Amino acid sequence: MNQFVLSHNSALELRLFPHILEIGVIKNPAIRLNGFPRTVEKGLKIYYILEGKFEWCICKHPFILYPGDAALVLPGSELGNPANVLEIGSFSWIHIQVGMNEREELVLGSWSSLSDSENQAMSKVLKMDHPPILQKFSDAGVLLKNIQTELTNQEIGYQARVNHLLDEIFIQVARQYTRISNPGRDFPKTFMKLEQELRRNLSHQWTVEEMASLVGLGTTLFNEKVKSYSGFSPLSYLINIRISEAIKMLKRPDINLTDIALDTGFYSSQHFSTTFKKLTGYTPSEFRKNHL
Amino acid sequence: MECIITIELGTNAVRIYAFDLNGNSIGSLKGYCPTFHSEPDYSEQDPDQIFITMLNVLKNLLEDIIHPKRYKVLCICFCSAMHSVLAVDRKGTPLGNVITWADNRANWEAAELKNSTLGKKIYTATGTPLHPMSPLTKIAWIKNNENEKFRQVNKFLSLKTYILQQLTGEYMIDYSIASATGLLNIHKIAWEPDSLKFAGITSEMLPELVPVFTQAGKLKKAYQVSLGLSSDTKILVGSSDGCMAILGDGVNGNGMATITVEDSGAFRVMGDKVLQDEKQRIFNYLLTENHYVSGGPTNSGGVIFEWFTRQFGDFKNPFDLENSMIELINEGMKISPGSDGLIFLPYLLGERAPIWNANARGVFFGMNIKHEKAHFVRATIEGILFEIYSIGKTIEEHRTINNISINGSFGNLPFFTQMVADIFNKPVRFSRNYHSVSFGSYLLSATEMGIYKSIDDAVKSVVLTDQTTPDKLYHKMYVKYFKIFERLTSKLANEFADIASLQQS
């Protein structure tokens, strides 16, 4: 593929795609000093290595990238060569504008056809603590190339196609991450990671889709596995954790009931009270009174 | 119609069974509770999560099966894993999580005791091996390392004590759980002053000591209503999972022993005398005034074969451990006993009985160029069973054993039962789809209710339906390999210590 760069403030091709900040391919025949300095940008970037060997620093950690590797650089993360050098070789990249909501989740924007809950699940996976490099991830290379071709040829339906391909990149990256972090052998360990994630974000309105995506399973298989392993459906299991955390908080007189309800992930103190009573026989305030 | 419900607060799960008065199972449900490891040596569980899970499972069982069939629940009998410790303050609020049997933080306290005359005295008095599993050493650890918390502690409870207290308001600990704490004098059935002193506590800081048949007060009104149970439902304190496994298998007196293989495992006998082992290798727990359960626990049960499967199984479907294990076992079955000279020491998690060495590690020994994956499968299983055999031989120094029963999720696999019979050269009894621990709790309740005259009477009623007989030829082969297994284990003591210290650095 030939070298090219499209940038949103100059390229007519990107007129219909304000969310694509930049897309390009570079072929670099000789080392260029100051050609790849470390920078932090607001958007999300995906790189795919075509030729050569690159030593980059992502979030202050050194990585070596070979052809076939992809790098995911989240908004606000630093990327560049430690000596600011652009090394010999070739890579393609895309730089996408993503939003951030009040829960600090990445929001793709109205161009994406992902539903809100899928978008949340995706954000969870992308923001989990894992290395930014996806090795031998040729799907990313193919998708980037297809987007470039669509933008160049502008055949009928290309606006929809480009946005579909962008969604596809996000989906493939998220799936690849879940596959790597859950090799499908150790369910107890995987379930424990999920439990810890649920406890860390107990106030979040978890959906089964989100939980399943963290474990790297489709929702049907996920439901089945959780049920046979834990004896409960994923949402009932989550309620067990919520109520047991609530019990601990109720035993401390300094937190009010509404705060406990919201902190443990109930919609309202009413919802909290009904669920709590159904399981324990006491309303939260009765339970607290008995304990003081 | 009337029924008895048994609740087992196990290591990984709460298991609830319902039995009719004749001991037929009406239904069962389980709920998983995780163990947290915030430090490598720590194993903790959330007491409130266990309580809520227990309530939820119980409610589901009652609403799905018991109430629709109009059973009246006469009795709920509890049983739990041994060695747990939960510190609570003046109001009964937990100060942190429950520390479970698998927790090794009190390594230093246990080692200190083990090498002292005080330790020897305490072991003889309490029957609990001096090991970080015992609440005695755990409480001493809290005293030595968490001074602030130790000063706030009003009581040290077992997990079961906490759960019962939530339901009825009473703080009680039964003989069998108490006898696994290292704090109870099993000869006098009273708290042991030497132990209390070492732990830095008084007997007022422990729950009320009661026989296993004791009613732990009445279910609180709110739970009667939410569970749909009447106020006269008996809540029995019950016993420990270890004691119930042997009761449920109908093992009592001379000649009989039982093996449990779950994630971990144990070899146990029951009788009216304590087995005094000079080398302190055996536990002696108290079920009633004249029933002692003696034996040895192993860390290297099914968890070791699960580890092997995770590394070398096929996993054609994600997380399908069960089928991957069955496929491996089928491969291993094709290899002859002794795995053509491949021997496995299964000590991936250190070992308890009979060597009591936390530094022990796994070894494959005798590999040659002809060994294939299937040999490793078979050797792994043989290694797990050789370890249990070595506990059995220790017990046989004190008591004759003619036949064995086997239970537990791994113990009940056909391949395992036959191998146990061959290795021990004794007939092995078992029942498939049978949960010994829960049935033991049923027998305990039925005895309390007068259905059986006594524990001895109840035990005699147990019929395990299946039996395998040993193959003498195979036994001879196993014995040859076992001798090497035993020698390797003892010869490698120094190397175990060295490699463990490298691994921990």
pLDDT digits (tens, 9 = 90+) for A171-207: 999 988 887 777 788 899 999 999 999 999 999 999 9
Distances (CA, A) of B87 to B118, B185, B260: 25, 22, 30
- The pLDDT score that the predictor gives to residue B444 is 98
- The pLDDT score that the predictor gives to residue B164 is 98
DSSP code of residue B350: B
Structure confidence at residue A291 as a pLDDT band (50, 70, 90):
confident
State the count of interchain CB pairs (< 8 A) between A and B. Answer: 85
Q: What pLDDT digit, counting tens, does each position of B283-332 carry? A: 999 999 999 999 999 999 999 999 999 999 988 888 889 899 999 999 99
Question: Average pLDDT for residues A44-71, to the nearest whole number?
Answer: 93
Cis amide linkage into residue B354, ω under 30° from 0: yes
- Say which residues have a Cβ less than 8 Å from residue A199's Cβ, sequence separation at least 6: A241, A245
Residue pair A291/A247 in contact (Cβ under 8 Å)? The answer is no
- The CATH architecture annotation of domain A186-292 reads Orthogonal Bundle (1.10)
Q: Where are the domains of chain A?
A: 4-181, 186-292
Question: Average pLDDT for residues B472-498, to the nearest whole number?
Answer: 97
Structure confidence at residue B82 as a pLDDT band (50, 70, 90):
very high
Structure confidence at residue B132 as a pLDDT band (50, 70, 90):
very high
> Across the strands, what pairs with B401?
B255
60-99 in B: which are within 8 Å (CB) of A?
91-94
Pick the residue from chain A with its C-alpha nearest to B225. A281
Q: Which residue has the higher pLDDT, A214 or A265?
A: A265
Question: Average pLDDT for residues B188-214, to the nearest whole number?
Answer: 98
- The pLDDT score that the predictor gives to residue A265 is 95
**Percent of chain B scoring above 70 in pLDDT:** 100
> Is the predicted ipTM greater than 0.95, yes or no?
no
Q: What pLDDT digit, counting tens, does each position of B418-469 carry? A: 999 999 999 999 987 789 999 999 999 999 999 999 999 999 999 988 999 9
CB–CB of B227 and A279 under 8 A? no
How far is B51 from B128, CA to CA, in rounded Å?
27
Question: What is the residue type of B402?
Answer: N
How far is B400 from B195, CA to CA, in rounded Å?
32
Q: What pLDDT digit, counting tens, does each position of B364-373 carry? A: 999 999 999 9
CB–CB of A251 and B223 under 8 A? no
203-222 in B: which are within 8 Å (CB) of A?
220-222
- The pLDDT score that the predictor gives to residue B379 is 98
- Min distance A151 CA to chain B CA atoms (Å): 39
Structure confidence at residue B24 as a pLDDT band (50, 70, 90):
very high
Distances (CA, A) of B477 to B339, B420, B423: 10, 13, 9
How far is A273 from B26, CA to CA, in rounded Å?
33
Question: Average pLDDT for residues A228-242, to the nearest whole number?
Answer: 96
Averaged confidence pLDDT in chain B: 95
Q: Does B52 touch chain A (CB under 8 A)?
A: yes
- The pLDDT score that the predictor gives to residue A1 is 54
Residue B342 has pLDDT above 90, yes or no: yes
Q: Which residue has the higher pLDDT, A165 or A120?
A: A165
Q: Is B279 exposed, middle or buried (0-12, 13-18, 19+ CB in 10 A)?
A: exposed
Kindly calculate the radius of gyration of chain A based on its CA atoms and give it in whole angstroms: 23
Q: What pLDDT digit, counting tens, does each position of B370-389 carry? A: 999 999 999 999 999 999 99
Query: Residue B113's closest CA among B140, B143, B83, B82?
Result: B140
- The pLDDT score that the predictor gives to residue A215 is 87
Cα B163 from chain centroid? 19
A4-181 and A186-292: identical CATH topology: no
Please name the member of B53, B226, B318 whose beta carbon is closest to the beta carbon of A240: B53
Coil, strand or helix at B304? helix
Full-model pTM:
0.87
Pick the residue from chain A with its C-alpha nearest to B50. A244
Domains observed in chain B: 2-243 (3.30.420.40), 250-430+471-505 (3.30.420.40)
CB–CB of A232 and B56 under 8 A? yes
- Say which residues have a Cβ less than 8 Å from residue B216's Cβ, sequence separation at least 6: B78, B164, B167, B168, B170, B172, B235, B236, B237
| Maximum average pLDDT range among B35-44, B339-348, B408-417 | B339-348
The lowest-confidence range among A131-135, A268-272, B174-178, B267-271 is A131-135
Coil, strand or helix at B290? coil
With tokens 């479907």, the residue in question is: B317
Angle, helices A158-181/A116-127, rounded to nearest 10 degrees: 50
Question: Average pLDDT for residues B199-222, to the nearest whole number?
Answer: 97
Buried b (16+ CB within 10 A) or exposed e, B22-50: ebebbbbbbbbbbbbeeeeebbbbbbbbb
For residue B313, list chain A residues with Cβ-Cβ distance below 8 A.
185
Question: Average pLDDT for residues B160-182, to the nearest whole number?
Answer: 97
Class of domain A4-181: mainly beta
Q: Does A191 touch chain B (CB under 8 A)?
A: yes
